Each structure stands twice: as C-alpha cells, then as structure tokens.
Structure 1
C-alpha cells in the first residue's frame, strides 16, 4: 500500500541512487528498505527501478510517478505547516528569500511595515542569488521570495508578481583608468548576476565574462573600491554605494539593461495571512521607491 513512508523511500532511493544509501538516510535497515520498496512495486503493478549491480535506475514507470510522489510529500509537509500555523495563531515562522538589490532597497522598510502592523511571526531571511532562492521556494524551503524574476515567470507552479523594473548602471573608484578614457573592455566586471544569465544580456562595461560574481553588493563595492573592477548595479543601490564606499558613476544607465524584481511563491502553497501581509508590505514599498 502506498503511504507517505513508502513514497519517501521511493524519492530518497531515486535521489540517492542506491538502496543502501537510501536506507542510511532514512535510518532504516537495508533489508527493511528493500522489502518496503519491493512491496511498493507490487502494489503499483510494476518496477520503479532497474538494478545495475547496486545502482538503482528509474524505469519509465518510475520516471512517470516520481513527480507525483514529490508532490505527495510536499503536500504532507504543507498540511503539517498549515496546522502548525493554525495552532500558533499565525505566530509561527515565515521564511523569506531576498535577492541582492531587494536586500539593499526594499527589505528594510518592508520588514518595518510588517512588524508595525502588529505581527509576532518570527521572520527568517535568507539573502542570496535569485536562482537559488527560486529553487528553494519551489521545494517549499521558503515561503516567499523577493528577487529578480529570471525564468520563474515561465513556471506554472509559481505565482510571480512583478515589481517596478530598474535600469542598470556602472560604478568605479574615483581614480579608475576608465574615467580617463581607457576602454571599458580592458577591465574586469563585478556583478551580482550569474555568468550564465549575464550572457543573455551582456553589459556594455567591462569584459564580457565577469571577473567577480557575488550576491552581496557591499562585498562587490569593497572589492571595486580597491581594484580596477567595474561594478554593475541597479539604480536603486547606486546612491548608497557611492555614499558608503566612495564609488562614482562611470556612465549613465542604459535603458536596455534592466533588472526585473518580483514577489514569488508556490501556486499550491498553503494559505498564510502572514505571507500575504509581507507580500503587501513589499508591494507598497516598491510603489513608493
């Protein structure tokens, strides 16, 4: 009979690649795991894995059922989380992911508004690259992400609410050679945009492939204030970077280069009044920025 336990065994075995590793991760004996998997395959009417020595390889049936099993485990986790929220009167934990420019621009005031509204939810914030954060919201590890939307807008399992776009400009240290007329492509680029995404929208400053990639603009600014790197940054963070780190603008921003921040959460995520309030706080701050 299919159960959450056997569905989890199926998932872990698929991810681990061997039954021995799956048993270790689930803290059960290898014979018990083997027996449970064999019973599951009998109940489902077909083999989920081909065996190549110790290695497990998904069959066509296994490939077809794996997304269903993942969804089942996620729904069980959502059910538990929603029950905990009800028991706690929403005074639980809300997990937010914030992209680099959002951390600088929108996050402080949005969080302030959230708590001024009287919420007592424990808010945990994970800053990082947008792609990583979106992957985590897909897996249910984050409740809400405020970051560049990237390709998330194409995912039907995600709700993507766009925020106002921002143009991108370039900053350098005050005595940078580029300010004296030297060609931009002589100098390395510093950016929060991963190289694979930057290749789709190349910047007109610095070398085509970035020399420094970091999801923290403070780190990028410190590096650029002590080197010949050219820092590409959205307009919203420029004033703060120039004031705090003495950087100067290299050229005017390009209207063709933009970041597209958005609020993102799973379409089938359980309802959360706290998440909705935080969503509204971010939206309000973005409109005023």
Structure 2
C-alpha cells in the first residue's frame, strides 16, 4: 500500500518524468524503484503512469492521486517539524508551579519577558503552596516549580537552581494595637509559610501558630486590612502590599526567617529550551526585584 517511501517515489517520478531520474533523486537503484512502483500500482489496483519509452506520463488515476500523495508528504514534513519544535521547546505546553511570593513578585515579569522574546510555548501556571507543588513536579505533573526550596535541595530526584534569598517583614493595618506598643505576640499571624516550617524557624511576633495560612498574598493582605492579624511577608512584596491594601510596616520587628526561592525540576527531566529560557526570565526578574 501507499507509504511515505512509495509516496516519495510516486511524486518524484511525476516531477522528474523518468524512473531513472526519480531513482537518482531518491538515492535508490533503478531496479528497486521499478519494483516499488509496480508494487504500488498493484496495491492501488491501477496504473499511475503510462510508459512511452523511458518517459512517464500520468494516467487519469495518477493525476487524481498525485495531489493526495503530495499532501501526505507535506503532512509528514509538518509532523517532523512539529516534533522538532517540541524537542527544542519552541512549541507545546510548559507547566509551571509558582509559590506565593514568586506568584506575587517574580512571575508577572518573568512571563512578560518570556513572551517578549517571541516564544510560542503555552505556559500553564499553577499557583499554590511550595510543598504541594514539589509533589507535583516529582510526579511529572509540572515541568518546573518556582517557589521556596524548602527541603528540595536534599532530594536527589530534583534539581534546584537557587534565586536570591530574602527576609520577612511584618505588616499590619493602620491603627493596629501593635503600633501603640501592644505586644505583637498577642495577635494572630497571617502567613503563606507552612506551620511546620514556622515551628522550626519561629517568628518573633505573632502567636505561636498562624491564625491564617493562605498561599495568596492578596487574600492575606485583605484579611489583615480588616483584622488584627499580623502579616508575615517577604521584603520584596512589602511596597506593593502597602500601596494596594493600605498596610503599614510594624517597626522593630526583626525576623530570622529567610525565604529561599528557587527554580526546581526533576533530575531526569528531558532537556527543554523553553524551560531554560524561562529560567533566564526568572533570574532577570529576581535581579530587578
């Protein structure tokens, strides 16, 4: 039956006008070309060419089927090109997980840089808590995670590319009692940091356990603007939280907690040009933050 090999022979014979020229063009012997063309005509149940000496002239059936053979070869080339674009990262989908602080401060600029460079990859972004995102990248559900690295640096199944560390500040609503010398530890804490992490590295303000945990700083800020919660937020997002939600910094509230954002992917993940370029975009955004 018609295959890519015999379709190429059919098209080459029609274009070249002789089987000798077609065989030379396809780098096959003339006897092999003669046998393949005869088998194709037998499989199709009719002659594709009339022979006038060495000259080949399309039959009516050949004229009808030639455009389809050309289309088949073009589809094969398109398939090959698309596969190459997928391998090189120029097409397809890149699934990215973004932790809370990354979503709020680095992600918008990184995505903008990625598409300004003319990338054709579809980015699928999943925001959430770092631990949950890391589980998904381990399972292969995500290609890349940009989040606080946590314990990922000790996991041999993952590759971790660190971004600049940053400290954590305290933000409260205007008129918060802690601004009038009330002990900060009396008030509930609002944070995107998981409670188990805070238990290992507690903050010097807010209650022993968080009163509100959420992986969205907008939600946290809105809650703190309407309550006496103290928001634990990275230094890099403070200006935006203050400008958008009217929060103010809590003076003299040092913290030893450090956020360690990183770009994380599976150790056995295939090479991806798109992923590498997105790395560069996140690093550029981090340098500007």
TM-score with structure 2 setting the length: 0.69
Matches within 5 A, 1:194-205: 194-205=194-205
CA gap of 1:176–1:129, structure 2 versus 1, over 3 A, is same
Partners of 1:251 and 1:217 in 2: CA distance: 20
* 2:254 counterpart SS class: strand
Corresponding residue for residue 149 of structure 2: 149
**Aligned residue in 2 for 1:185:** 185
**Gaps in structure 2 of 5+ consecutive residues:** 1-81
After TM superposition, list the pairs within 5 Å mapping 1:1-289 onto structure 2: 86=86, 90-252=90-252, 254=254, 256-289=256-289
CA RMSD, 1 decimal: 1.8
Number of aligned positions between the proteins = 208
Cα distance, 1:256 vs structure 2: 2.2
Judged with a 3 Å threshold, the aligned counterparts in structure 2 of structure 1 residues 263 and 105 are, in CA distance, closer, same or farther, namely same
**1:111 match: secondary structure:** helix
Moved over 4 A (4+): 82-85
Query: Which SS does the other structure have where 1:125 is aligned?
Result: strand
Deviation at 1:90, TM superposition (A): 3.0
1:128-173: per-residue Cα shift (whole Å, max 9, x none)?
A: 0011111111110111111000000000111101100111000000
Counterparts of 2:84 and 2:219, CA distance in 1 = 38
2:85 and 2:97 map into 1 onto residues whose CA distance is 20
Aligned to 1:161, what secondary structure does the other structure show? Answer: strand
Distance 1:253 1:278, change over 3 A: farther
Larger Rg: 2
Secondary structure of the 1:114 match is helix
SS in 2 for 1:233: strand
SS of 1:254's equivalent in the other structure is coil
Q: Structure 1 residues 239, 123: closer, same or farther in 2, change over 3 A?
A: same
Q: Report Cα offsets for 1:67-107 as digits up to 9, x if no partner.
A: xxxxxxxxxxxxxxx96963797310000111111111111
